[in-house]
């Protein structure tokens, strides 16, 4: 019988209203199990592991990602697939981080949650949970269909490190702007076999992350003292620079020279567009030429969530700036389209 490990970390799916404040608070796994009697009717062997302290995903930290990665790696041989129940707020960050921490995973890791708690009559949690288990259990000729970290939400399956949370309101809360959805679940589940990731190489646990990464969003009129404050953070190793359009930023000499000084002293700067779709193409406009020349790393079509966690991961495994840049422009776990020929 196919075996699935359910990992419950918290999130709206298992939340209940606090009697005093009316706010939603995470609740234990037993509550969730009681609300979904269907779990007992599955023709798969289900086991569950819950975080000691269940979380609103806004409280997720690097050590939580590491805990999940270790759990999956440690029990990899025991199960055919893994389903993680997680809050939607940082789901795309966790999915991205896990895709880098568990390179070449060849079994499904499906992350899901819900917009409405499982105890509410209109909950989207039941369908999300039940279909995620089914997706994690699906095999063709004995091999799992999904061999990557994916997010299932609102009847669609996505590559996790290609997604971001798009809506606080809709049941279709996630988008994957630069990669086709992996599957659509209606009466039947249709997979897009061209979109599915196929790992090559040994499955590893690479759980280290360096969190000395800052974020700077370019806005019209950005003030010098703000840029100085961010670049002046001691021990800073990485920066995500959120730019306009295809990777453009202002050309004020003070801005360019502050950035260049930081890069010359060892900072790895990744250029990421504020647009949802398309990719960074440094040198297409004069306004990104200088960035290219000083060694800013083009972030391609990565989501913010993927770029941020990939930079943390890369900084933990590599020290040399050139090597870090090389790793950042190469796809590591299907998180970016291969644009290396444009670099
Ligand atoms: N704040 C919640 C969380 O991320 C939202 C959700 O689960 O939808 O845990």
What are the 10-residue block averages of pLDDT along the chain, 343 residues in total? 95 87 84 85 91 94 98 98 98 98 98 94 95 97 97 98 97 97 96 97 98 98 98 98 96 97 98 96 85 96 98 98 97 89 49
Q: Is 21 one of the catalytic residues?
A: no
Give the mutation target among 8, 9, 11 for probing the ligand 1 site: most ligand atoms within 8 A of CB. 11
Q: What is the pLDDT of residue 297?
A: 97
Q: What is the pLDDT of residue 214?
A: 98
Q: Whose CA is closest to 151, among 74, 94, 220?
A: 94
Residue nearest ligand 1's atom 8 by CA = 88
Q: State how far the Cα of 217 lies from the Cα of 222, in Å rounded to an integer.
A: 9
Residues contacting residue 308 through CB under 8 Å, at least 6 positions apart: 93, 96, 213, 215, 240
Q: What is the pLDDT of residue 122?
A: 96
CA of residue 87 to ligand 1 center, whole Å:
4
Q: DSSP assignment of 49-66, as one string?
A: EEEEEEE-GGG--HHHHH
> Ligand 1 within 6 A of 154 CB?
no
Domains of the chain as residue ranges with CATH:
2-191 (3.40.50.1170), 213-342 (3.40.50.40)
Q: State how far the Cα of 291 lies from the Cα of 271, in Å rounded to an integer.
A: 9
Residue 284 phi, psi (nearest 5): -65, -40
CA of residue 136 to ligand 1 center, whole Å:
22
CA of residue 14 to ligand 1 center, whole Å:
10
Residue nearest ligand 1's atom 7 by CA = 87
Q: What is the pLDDT of residue 338?
A: 86
Q: State how far the Cα of 160 lies from the Cα of 16, in Å rounded to an integer.
A: 27
CA of residue 308 to ligand 1 center, whole Å:
20
Q: State how far the Cα of 14 lies from the Cα of 117, in Å rounded to an integer.
A: 6
Q: Whose CA is closest to 10, among 39, 32, 34, 36?
A: 32
Give the mutation target among 16, 89, 165, 172 for probing the ligand 1 site: most ligand atoms within 8 A of CB. 89
Q: State how far the Cα of 245 lies from the Cα of 311, in Å rounded to an integer.
A: 21
Q: What is the pLDDT of residue 340?
A: 57
Give the mutation target among 13, 51, 59, 87 for probing the ligand 1 site: most ligand atoms within 8 A of CB. 87
List strand residue ranges (DSSP E) for 186-320, in order.
Answer: 189-191, 213-217, 238-243, 268-273, 297-298
């Amino acid at each position: 019988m196919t075996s699935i490990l359910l990992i419950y970390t918290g999130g709206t799916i298992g939340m209940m209203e606090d009697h005093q404040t009316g706010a939603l608070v995470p609740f234990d796994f037993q509550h969730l199990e009681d609300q979904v009697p269907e779990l007992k009717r599955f023709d798969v062997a289900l086991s569950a592991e819950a975080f000691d302290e269940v979380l609103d995903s806004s409280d997720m930290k690097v050590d939580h990602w590491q805990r999940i990665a270790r759990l999956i790696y440690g029990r990899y041989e025991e199960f055919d697939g893994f389903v993680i129940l997680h809050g939607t707020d940082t789901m795309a960050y966790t999915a991205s981080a896990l895709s880098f921490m568990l390179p070449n995973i060849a079994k499904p890791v499906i992350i899901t949650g819900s917009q409405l708690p499982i105890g509410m009559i209109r909950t989207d949690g039941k369908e999300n949970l039940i279909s995620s288990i089914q997706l994690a259990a699906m095999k063709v000729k004995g091999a799992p269909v999904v061999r990557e970290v994916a997010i299932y939400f609102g009847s669609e399956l996505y590559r996790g490190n290609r997604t971001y949370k798009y809506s606080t309101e809709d049941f279709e809360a996630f988008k994957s702007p630069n990669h086709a959805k992996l599957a659509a679940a209606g009466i039947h589940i249709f997979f897009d076999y061209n979109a599915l990731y196929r790992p090559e190489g040994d499955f590893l646990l690479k759980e280290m992350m360096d969190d000395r990464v800052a974020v700077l969003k370019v806005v019209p009129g950005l003030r010098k003292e703000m840029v100085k404050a961010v670049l002046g953070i001691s021990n800073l190793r990485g920066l995500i620079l959120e730019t306009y359009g295809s990777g453009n930023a202002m050309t004020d000499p003070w801005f360019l020279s502050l950035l260049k000084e930081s890069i010359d002293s060892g900072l790895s700067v990744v250029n990421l567009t504020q647009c949802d779709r398309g990719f960074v193409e440094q040198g297409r406009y004069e306004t990104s030429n200088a960035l290219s020349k000083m060694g800013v790393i083009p972030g391609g079509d990565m989501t913010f969530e993927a770029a941020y966690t990939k930079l943390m991961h890369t900084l933990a495994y590599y020290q040399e700036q050139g090597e870090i840049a090389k790793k950042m422009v190469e796809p590591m776990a299907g998180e970016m389209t291969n644009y290396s020929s444009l670099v």
